[in-house]
A and B are shown apart, each in its own frame.
Chain A
Amino acid sequence: MRLPFKIAKRFLLKNNFFKDGVVNIVSFLGLFIGSLSIILSISVLNGFQNILKEETAKVNGEFLISNFNEDSDLTLLNEINSNNIQFAIFHKDEFILSHNNKKKIVEIKNIYKDNSLDFYKLTLDNNKKNLTNNQMIIGASLARSLNINIGDFVNIFSKNINLNSLASPISHKFEVVNIFSNRILRIDDYLIFISDDELLKKNNLSIELIGDIQNSNVIMDRSLSWKDRNRQIFEATEVEKKITFFTLSLIIIIASFNLCSAIIQISSKKIKEIAILMSVGMSKKSIRLIFILYSYFIGLSAITLGVLTSSFLIFLQNKFSIIMLNPDFYIVEKLPMVISLIDIFYVYSASVVIIGIFSIIPLRFINHMSPNQIINKQP
């Protein structure tokens, strides 16, 4: 390995790279652009996926445990407390919200204890966050659609239409004390927070959690992650990432065609050297390795430069917010960009495979090479 490595390096560096290596440069640029595009695109998708996670966590936490029973799940509660995990206990149900003859089906999150509301990082219109019975915080979009303002009173009815003695549905009157905004998944179009003992069904509670649950199997076993709860949208973003990765990998494949040409060019130029190496006992496998390494020198240096450049651009964007967005459309003000080591690993792995395949193909001629004829024919 040492000798093929040394010879490959010399073949690449001892020659006039710019004068004789146009194909090398084209391959290098292609691979550089390919890796740069993949990393930048994936980082933007990661960024939006992170925004999705953060915004969802603000109203739904990171994990959900259903069927929580205050009396029988003491171990679970102890585990949560001992692991320093933030949580909120609630009961969630669907109701019909009525205001000025306008009605809409809504989802009401009834927080078990009022102080649990601090768990949710709501973007609120005012500072009022502590709820008493018959007070609610509703989503901004919902408030707009039903023309509700802070201080208005609304009625909620059970979807099951329970009737009172006068045969009219049992309603509960609430005062709207605050309005929250959250554009992710149109949450503020249907979600309402209350903390009302009368409506709370203690036999059907759930817990939402934020924190590191990896240390507790008890919690892990019963938890659903934000990805599980939003599987469709999460998988949609994952598919988008895969398609982007695959599509942009085509740039790397096309660049590898050039790399293939570079190998054909260099191996044709070095045909005499190949014959010499055979005559002094180097195996065909080692000779092929020289050109494969030559190809990897070009390929992996281009990929590395692409990764480093894209990482630097991501750093610049995160530090200086160079590309700004309209938050009305994109929720965020600056283009979010996040790259992980696993994404870089995938780029390298795919490149190693693609470059390897395109390097081996043109070297098949070495199997049928007769060194004596080449040595004797060459001047």
Chain B
Amino acid sequence: MILDIKNLKKSFIDGKKTLNVLKNINLSVKKGSIVTIKGPSGSGKSTLLSLIGSLDRPDEGEVIFNNENIDAINDINNFRNEKIGFIFQSHNLISELSLQENVLLPREISGKEVNHQEIKDLFKFFDLDMRMKSYPNDLSGGEKQRISVMRAIINQPSLVIADEPTGNLDQKNVLKMIELFKKLNKEHNLTFIIATHDSAVFDIGDKKLQLTEGNLKKL
């Protein structure tokens, strides 16, 4: 197992009310699998993904990543940089950096050497090899989202967390993105956890889950 979640709980204070967003989450994810999660808006999908990706901390419970409790990891930035790749609903690219620079951000933060041929190959794999020097504002929504996928996988993470990755895309680009996730999963043995509203994306999961009222149910 690459990921084991045990008795995870998370609540938020909203005025005088306490919202128990995640009540008791247990989940195991195999390496090389795709886990898809659906649920209504506000059900806690993004919160769950943030806890898995160490962007937030749980109230209770454990997130065990490769047999290590992420709460006990000293350098959480390094963990996030090397082990996790994030894809968000919005492409979230930095408009002042070129596409190549955006993709290389995690690599530069890690301080690892940049192999230019590897980057060219990656851009070719994503069919964007002619746009390496362009800036995010020159691209369409689908292209921007592909760049954010490239940024997520550049450091060859153990796990890619995608939060509504197709939420801002049209049907044609949704299908392209699905094909891309499948290809990355198959050819690079990448593990995905995808939260989505889109049934087509949801259907690519090896494990399909629904998050309702703070609990995960297998479908």
Contacts and interface: CB of A to CB of B under 8 A. Distances in A.
Interface stretch (B65-73, B80-88, B138-146): B80-88
A279 B89 CA distance: 14
A281 B96 contact: no
Contacts of A273: 94
B77 A282 contact: yes
B92 A14 contact: no
A372 B46 CA distance: 8
Contact of B77 (A14, A283, A376, A378): A283
B58 interface: no
A280 B86 contact: yes
B151 A280 contact: yes
B96 A7 contact: yes
Tell me the dominant secondary structure on chain B's binding face: helix
Contacts of B96: 7, 10-11, 14-15
Given A371-B55, A372-B46, A376-B46, A281 B94 contact: no
Given A273-B94, A375-B88, A280 B55 contact: no
A143 B102 CA distance: 83
B92 A276 contact: yes
B109 A282 contact: yes
A288 interface: no
Nearest to B91: A276
Interface in A277-301: 277-283, 286
Nearest to A277: B105
Contact of B81 (A280, A371, A379): A280
B94 A280 contact: no
B53 A376 contact: no
Interface string B103-114: 001101110000
A272 interface: yes
B62 interface: no
Contacts of B97: 7, 10
Contacts of B28: none
B56 A370 contact: yes
A3 B108 contact: yes
A10 B94 CA distance: 10
Contacts of A2: 108
A378 B168 CA distance: 13
Interface in B31-76: 46-47, 49-50, 53, 55-56
Candidate in A273, A281, A379 with the most chain B CB atoms within 10 angstroms: A281
Nearest to A285: B77
A280 B109 contact: yes
B78 interface: yes
Contacts of A6: 101
Interface string A211-250: 0000000000000000000000000000000000000000
A6 B56 CA distance: 28
B109 A376 contact: no
A362 to B, nearest CB: 20
A281 B56 contact: no
Interface in B110-137: 110
Given A7-B97, A371-B55, A281 B81 contact: yes
B173 interface: no
A6 B88 CA distance: 24
Contacts of A378: 90, 92
B126 to A, nearest CB: 18
Candidate in A2, A15, A276, A277 with the most chain B CB atoms within 10 angstroms: A276
A254 to B, nearest CB: 29
A3 B106 CA distance: 11
Nearest to B55: A372
Nearest to B105: A280
Given A3-B108, A273-B94, A281 B55 contact: no
A329 B155 CA distance: 74
Nearest to B102: A276
Interface in A322-379: 370-372, 375-376, 378-379
Nearest to B85: A280
Contacts of B109: 3, 277, 280-282, 286
Candidate in A11, A278, A283, A376 with the most chain B CB atoms within 10 angstroms: A376
Nearest to A283: B77
A10 B93 CA distance: 14
27 contacts: A6-B101, A7-B94, A7-B96, A7-B97, A10-B94, A11-B96, A272-B92, A276-B92, A278-B80, A279-B80, A280-B80, A281-B80, A281-B106, A282-B81, A282-B105, A286-B109, A370-B55, A371-B55, A372-B46, A372-B47, A372-B53, A372-B55, A372-B56, A375-B88, A376-B88, A376-B89, A376-B163
Given A277-B94, A280-B109, A282-B81, 16 more contacts: A7-B94, A275-B92, A277-B105, A279-B88, A280-B81, A280-B86, A280-B105, A281-B77, A281-B78, A281-B80, A282-B109, A371-B55, A372-B49, A372-B56, A376-B46, A376-B163
Nearest first, the 5 A-B pairs at minimum CB distance are A281-B81, A372-B50, A10-B96, A14-B96, A372-B55
